[in-house]
A and B are shown apart, each in its own frame.
Chain A
Amino acid sequence: MTAPAIRLSGLKKNFGASEIIRGVDLDIHPGERHAIIGPNGAGKSTLFHLISARLPVSAGSIELKGESVVGLKPFEINRKGLSRSFQITNIFHNLSVFENLRCAVLWSLGYRYSFWHRLAGLADARLRADAVMEDIGLTRRRDTAAGILSYAEQRALEIGITIASGADVILLDEPTAGMSNTETEEAVALIRRVTEGKTLVMVEHDMGVVFGLADRISVLVYGKIIATDAPAAIRCNAAVQEAYLGTSLSHD
């Protein structure tokens, strides 16, 4: 049996006296598409920040592919094959779309801190960046500065940067937030395409996206996971329905 892609055990996070994550245990299988849902303030983004080491853990353990990653720096976790996107677009604003993607692939191709390679001569980096650019549909915006792209284009670039390095565990934080219906549909198709064969964990508010994309769903309420199951089972779960009282869990 292979190790889970991510294993959280007894994970806790408190800011001063207030506990935000209150003991989370969760196994995410290799290759599954896992959604984390829950009401506002449940701690979904905080959970992502803990897994990706943006925030230090208060207690408990995080294993990535069977290896403890607690205490590592974000770049060290990234090098172990975990990549994440952000709820608030987090790109290199003054660099072009192409440069954004090329920056995202340099480390994984082994160029590290090189000042003896000429960027223009790195065919593998260029091809990889161009391929991702094609994937996310931004080829015609190749030389545009990322900062002046439209919102939907920036979101697509955000996903592109996240997957460009070829990491096999992908964390997406609200990838379709603030998008129109058509844009959301396109984004879902994009996510499905680029995370093929990878482990995907995502936080998402749009239930249509969640139930359409996820193999399994975890429901996080006040820092605890109250249920993890297949979408159909989650929809019928009494505890989940109670937590979501007054909100709709159906497609719309």
Chain B
Amino acid sequence: MTSHVTEAVFRRGRLLLWGGCLAAAIALPLVFKSGFMLSLLCQMGIMVVFALSYNMLLGQTGLLSFGHAVYYGLGAFAAMHTLNLIGKDGGPLVVALLPLAGGLAGLLAGVVLGYVTTKKAGTTFAMISLGIGELVAACALMFPGFFGGEGGISGNRVVGKGDLLGFTWGPQVEMYGLIVAWVFVAAVAMFALTQTPLGRMANAVRDNPERAEFVGYDTQRVRYLMLILSGLFAGIAGGLTALNYEIVTAETLNAHTSGVVLLMTFVGGIGFFYGPIIGAILVTVMQIVIGGMTQAWLLYFGLFFLFMVLMAPGGIASVIAMQRNLWQAGLFGRMVPHYLAAAMPLLVLLTGLVGLIEMSYALLAGEGAGAGDTATLVMGMQLQLNTASPWLVALAVTASGMALTRWIGGRTGAAWNATLSTLHGDKS
């Protein structure tokens, strides 16, 4: 009885959440009108679908794949070839459905490759996925006819006059609308999948494959089906990327892309459905915004990933869930001053570290032996990098940041533990 009532409340809350996200996605380009912002949003949407499809394997079925870009990339190439095939004769409606061609390619790739990879779970699966990933990436360079070699293949998404509600998909804002629609459909479908017998048995296989066999399920079949469906959605993301950029290179299916989707999914949190959404958005922002500001962005991303793995292995979603638990128990307010107190020394530490990294980069990237002789612009400051003073200042800031973090961080940790024990004490 009570559980039915709560289920109904959940469902209403869920509808509100989905609706809110959709409304926000539609409203964002009205608020931020720049082309940069629009392309950032497009990339985010594509990555959201890609990361969600990845989490169907990692979070839901317990399969750590190092080659998920294969399905994404093949989807992108298939969509691009289909686009070029329909050429001038196709209308905007067909173009809008092109991600489906990508999805179909991803699904077929899943049927073929997944049959091999999902024979085993665990480390064996991870290794085979890595091998298959390398294999397909190598094939991409061996068959330039299909994959376009180093330059990739390109196309033009404007193939008709625009008779579907007047859309030609030419302007980026129309493309954004198409991406939002696809992201929404794909995300709802992937969420719905988690609420089906197959979705639940995937969780069971993740938790305890042996027990799953002894309640009548072929774990290999469960893994295989989940991989095929995951390939479908990865392929849809690939199709969107082909349409969005109008060019697909072999990079879309290589190990680097596989690594990025793993990182964003993990950072977002694999234990929650919405975790990969957060991860995809955050990492894309970092990639494009920080990547636009500094060459050292990969270094920062690596540090950030390390920080997350050590401090919050459940990802951002688990941190959010934890705060929500505190909030519901009325304990959140108790932690706020501690969070603020801990943020200060972290900011100091970060400033010092960024200073050191940026100066090192500027010095190393400088031309020849004369680097640092003249004043270089670092973090908006003109610094003389061949003198000791900027380095000493940065070192001092870093060191004091470290000391303060240790000191205040210890207190925050103690407060956190005390709050946690109150929380669990209240529960039992």
Q: Which residues on A are within 8 Å of B, measured CB to CB?
A: 52, 54, 73-75, 78-79, 83-84, 86, 90-95, 99, 102-104, 106-108, 111-120, 122, 142-143, 161, 164-165
User: Does B212 have its Cβ within 8 Å of any Cβ on chain A?
Assistant: yes
Interface residues of B in 157-199 (CB under 8 A from A): 192-193, 195-199
Interface membership of B203, Cβ < 8 A: yes
Question: CB-CB contacts of B193-230 with A at 8 A, as 1s and 0s?
Answer: 10111111101101110111111111101100100010
- 29 A-B pairs within 8 Å (CB atoms) are namely A52-B214, A74-B210, A75-B217, A75-B218, A78-B216, A79-B216, A83-B214, A84-B214, A86-B211, A90-B208, A90-B210, A90-B214, A91-B211, A92-B208, A95-B200, A103-B201, A106-B197, A106-B215, A108-B216, A111-B197, A113-B198, A115-B198, A117-B196, A119-B195, A119-B196, A120-B195, A143-B3, A161-B215, A165-B216
B200 touches A99 (CB 8 A): yes
- B217 contacts A95, C-beta separation under 8 Å: no
**Complex partner residue of B215 from A94, A99, A103, A116, CB under 8 angstroms:** A103
| Contact across chains for B201 and A95 when beta carbons are under 8 A apart | no
Q: Are B214 and A112 in contact (CB under 8 A)?
A: no
Q: In the bound complex, how far is the Cα of B211 from the Cα of A188, in angstroms?
A: 23
Contact assessment for B213 and A78 in the assembled complex, using a CB-CB cutoff below 8 Å: yes
Give complex CA distance A125, B331 in Å: 38
Given contacts A73-B218, A75-B218, contact A120 B207 (CB under 8 A): no
Checking B192, B195, B225 against A113 with a beta-carbon cut-off of 8 angstroms, the contacting residue is B225
Which residue of the partner chain B has the closest CB to A93? B207
A116, B211: Cβ atoms closer than 8 Å: no
- Residues in chain B near residue A73, CB distance under 8 A: 213, 218
Q: Does B373 contact A (CB under 8 A)?
A: no
Q: Is B7 an interface residue (CB 8 A)?
A: yes
Residues of B within 8 A of A (CB): 3, 7, 192-193, 195-201, 203-204, 206-208, 210-219, 221-222, 225, 229
The residues of A that contact B210 with a CB separation of less than 8 Å are 54, 74, 90
CA distance A93 to B204 in the complex (A): 9
CB-CB under 8 A from B212, the residues of chain A are 92, 103
Q: Contact check: which of A79, A92, A117, A161 meets B197 at CB < 8 Å?
A: A117
Query: Which residues on the A side are within 8 Å of B195 (C-beta)?
Result: 118-120
Find chain B residues with CB under 8 A from A113 CB. Answer: 197-198, 201, 221-222, 225
Is the CB–CB distance between A74 and B207 below 8 Å?
no
| Minimal Cβ-Cβ distance residue in A for B7 | A120
**Quick one: which of A90, A99, A119, A143 has the most chain B CB within 10 A?**
A119
Q: How far is the CB of B195 from chain A (nearest CB, A)?
A: 5
Among A79, A106, A165, the one with the most B-chain Cβ atoms within 10 Å of its Cβ is A106
Contacts of B206 on A, CB cut-off 8 Å?
94
Q: How many A-B residue pairs have CB under 8 A?
A: 99
- Chain B positions within 8 Å of A90 at CB level: 208, 210-211, 214
Task: Specify which chain A residues have a CB less than 8 angstroms from the CB of B199 in the assembled complex.
Answer: 115, 119
Please report the C-alpha to C-alpha distance between residue A92 and residue B229 in the assembled complex, in whole angstroms. 23
How distant is A240 from chain B, measured CB to nearest CB, in Å?
Answer: 31
A contact residues around B192 at 8 Å (CB) = 118
Question: Which chain A positions have C-beta within 8 A of B221?
Answer: 113
Given A90-B208, A114-B196, A114-B197, A95 contacting B215 (CB threshold 8 A): no
Taking a contact as CB atoms under 8 Å apart, the answer to whether A95 and B203 are in contact is: yes
Residues on B with C-beta less than 8 A from A104 are 215
- Do A118 and B217 touch (CB < 8 A)? no
Q: Is the CB of B214 within 8 A of A74?
A: yes
Give every chain B residue within 8 A of A74 (Cβ-Cβ).
210, 213-214
A83, closest chain B residue (CB): B214
- Find out whether the CB atom of B3 lies under 8 angstroms from the CB atom of A142: yes
- The CA of A95 and the CA of B198, in the complex, are separated in Å by 15
B9 CB → nearest A CB, Å:
14
In the complex, what's the smallest C-beta–C-beta distance from B48 to chain A, in angstroms? 21
Residues of A within 8 Å of B207, CB to CB, are 92-95
> Which of B195, B207, B214, B219 has most A Cβ within 10 Å?
B214
Contact B7 A119 (CB under 8 A): no
Candidate in B3, B193, B213, B219 with the most chain A CB atoms within 10 angstroms: B213
Residues of B within 8 A of A106 (CB): 197, 200-201, 215
Q: Across the two chains, which residue of chain B brings its CB closest to A167?
A: B216
Q: How far is the CA of A165 from the CA of B3 in the complex (A)?
A: 23
CA distance A101 to B217 in the complex (A): 14
Q: 16 new A-B pairs (CB below 8 Å) besides A78-B213, A161-B215, A164-B215? A: A73-B213, A74-B213, A75-B214, A75-B217, A75-B219, A93-B208, A94-B203, A94-B206, A95-B207, A108-B216, A112-B197, A113-B222, A115-B229, A119-B197, A120-B7, A165-B215
Cα A161 to Cα B198 in complex, Å, equals: 18
Report Cα–Cα, A115/B198, bound state, in Å: 5
Give the complex CA separation of A9 and B202 in angstroms: 37
With A and B bound together, what is the CA distance between A52 and B3 in angstroms?
36
Q: In the complex, what residues of A have CB within 8 A of residue B213's CB?
A: 73-75, 78
Nearest CB of A to B251, in Å: 32
